[in-house]
Amino acid sequence: MKGVGAVPSPFDCYLALRGLKTLHIRMEAASRNALAIAKFLEGHEAVEKVIYPGLKSHPEYEIAKKQQHGWGAMITFYCVGSRKQSSLILENMKVFALAESLGAIESLAECPSLMTHASVPDDQRALLGIDDTLIRLSVGIESCKDLVEDLKHALQIALQSVNDEKER
Contact 100, 110 (CB under 8 A): yes
Rounded Cα gap, residues 130 and 91, in angstroms: 20
Name the region of 89 (left: φ>0; alpha: ψ -120 to 50; beta: rest): alpha
Name the region of 59 (left: φ>0; alpha: ψ -120 to 50; beta: rest): alpha
Neighbouring C-beta atoms of residue 144, cutoff 10 Å: 17
Helix axis angle, 23-42 relative to 10-21, nearest 10°?
60
Taking only the tens of pLDDT, the chain with its 168 residues reads 456 667 899 999 999 999 999 999 999 999 999 999 999 999 999 999 999 999 999 999 999 999 998 999 999 999 999 999 999 999 999 999 999 887 788 999 999 998 989 899 989 998 998 999 999 999 999 999 999 999 999 999 999 999 988 887
Calculate the dihedral angle through the C-alpha atoms of 13, 15, 17, 21, rounding to the nearest 10 degrees. Answer: 180
What's the angle, vertex CA 134, arms to CA 133 and CA 136, rounded to 5? 140
pTM flag (> 0.85) = yes
Neighbouring C-beta atoms of residue 161, cutoff 10 Å: 19
pLDDT tens sequence across 63-98? 999 999 899 999 999 999 999 999 999 999 999 999
pLDDT of residue 129: 86
